[in-house]
């Protein structure tokens, strides 16, 4: 599987700025895109505009969240089927900001991932420990609980992506050491393989203050097959340097 670099725009952008950023990214990543699969995840209302700009290019579009149901009385939520109809290929589920801001549990995240798969989307399932959990030495326990609880049991390696995002590293400028990243990614691969007979083809992304300056080292780390990028994905030049940092 090629490396995957996903840009999470979070709740940023206007219609005009999103179109401009997508256009700039297409122009900037043109050469770099050969090194990795690239997906942009704008706020839901901006998906059609970003998709219009990226259509026909190698850059894919994804959602930042989806509901567990296809349709119904769920005010403010986004259907995975609609995301697919709008041209999305991926959807982030279980981002720590959703787990914290909306009380999302592993069970809910797993149901969202299952709904995404059913709609033909590839879920990017996020896991990661908080600073307090890390300080208490609970990283391994938290990752085991989240991976076991959030990743659909029947999911095959090629159909899902798992993102390890230590919560304390998101938007803080702090990054985990490559030794820590390798250890947690190795644990995730082992957890995924249990009961599935292997983890070949599974992409495990690292996320948390990835930028051009640290991308090369992080992306060369054992068991790292891409990055989930927040802040740096809002800068076309920075984002394309991250893509270019994928090992050839
Ligand atoms: C994220 O939003 O998933 C993320 C990793 O953000 P940042 O790169 O800004 O830390």
**Dist. CA 78–CA 100, nearest whole Å:** 19
Band of residue 195 on the pLDDT scale cut at 50, 70, 90: confident
221 pocket-lining for ligand 1 (C-beta < 6 Å):
no
Average pLDDT of the residues in 189-218: 95
Query: pLDDT-derived band of residue 42, with 50, 70 and 90 as boundaries?
Result: very high
- Residue 32 — very low, low, confident or very high, per pLDDT cuts 50/70/90? low
Strands 203-207, 3-8: parallel, antiparallel or unpaired by DSSP? unpaired
CATH (residue range 4-244): 3.20.20.70
- Confidence at residue 73, expressed as pLDDT on a 0 to 100 scale: 98
Most ligand 1 atoms within 8 A of CB, residue of 13, 210, 226 to mutate? 210
- Whether the pLDDT of residue 30 is over 90: the answer is no
Decide: 94 and 104 in contact? Cβ < 8 Å: yes
pLDDT of residue 248: 82
pLDDT at 123: 98
- Across 12-20, average pLDDT: 98
Complete DSSP assignment for 16-56: HHHHHHHHHHHHHHTTGGGGEEEEEE--GGGHHHHHHHHTT
pLDDT attached to residue 14? 98
Give catalytic status of residue 67 as yes or no: no
Question: What mean pLDDT comes out for the span 114-120?
Answer: 98
- pLDDT band, very low/low/confident/very high, at 196 (cuts 50, 70, 90): confident
Q: How far apart, in whole angstroms, are the C-alpha atoms of residue 1 and residue 240?
A: 20
Rounded mean pLDDT of 56-62? 95
The question of whether 102 is a catalytic residue gets the answer: no
Nearest CA to ligand 1 atom 2: 230
pLDDT at 197: 83
pLDDT of residue 161: 98
Region of poorest pLDDT, from 28-42, 81-95, 136-150, 176-190: 28-42
pLDDT at res. 28? 87
The tally of CA atoms less than 13 A away on the side-chain side of residue 151 is 31
Q: What are phi and psi of 107, to 5 degrees?
A: -65, -40
3-state secondary structure of 228: strand
CA-closest residue to ligand 1 atom 4: 230
Q: Rg of the Cα trace of the chain?
A: 17
In degrees, to the nearest 5, what angle opens at C-alpha 163 toward C-alphas 160 and 166? 160
Q: What is the pTM of this model?
A: 0.97
């Amino acid at each position: 599987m090629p490396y995957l670099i996903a840009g999470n725009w979070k709740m940023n952008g206007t219609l005009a700025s999103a179109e401009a950023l997508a256009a700039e990214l297409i122009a900037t990543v043109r050469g770099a895109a050969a090194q990795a699969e690239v997906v942009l995840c704008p706020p839901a209302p901006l998906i059609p505009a970003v998709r219009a700009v990226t259509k026909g290019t190698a850059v894919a579009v994804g959602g930042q969240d989806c509901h567990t149901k296809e349709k119904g009385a769920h005010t403010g939520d986004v259907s995975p089927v609609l995301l697919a109809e709008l041209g999305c290929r991926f959807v982030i589920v279980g981002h720590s900001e959703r787990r914290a801001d909306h009380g999302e549990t592993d069970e809910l995240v797993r149901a969202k991932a299952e709904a995404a798969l059913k709609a033909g989307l590839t879920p990017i399932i996020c896991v990661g420990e908080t600073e307090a959990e890390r300080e208490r030495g609970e990283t391994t326990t938290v990752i085991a609980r989240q991976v076991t609880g959030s990743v659909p049991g029947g999911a095959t390696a090629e159909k899902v992506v798992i993102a390890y995002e230590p919560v304390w590293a998101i938007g803080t400028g702090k990054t985990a050491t490559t030794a820590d990243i390798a250890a947690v990614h190795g644990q995730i691969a082992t957890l995924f393989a249990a009961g599935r007979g292997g983890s070949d083809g599974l992409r495990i992304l690292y996320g948390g203050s990835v930028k051009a300056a640290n991308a090369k080292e992080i992306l060369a780390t054992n068991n790292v097959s891409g990055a989930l990028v927040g802040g740096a994905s809002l800068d076309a030049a920075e984002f394309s340097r991250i893509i270019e940092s994928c090992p050839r």
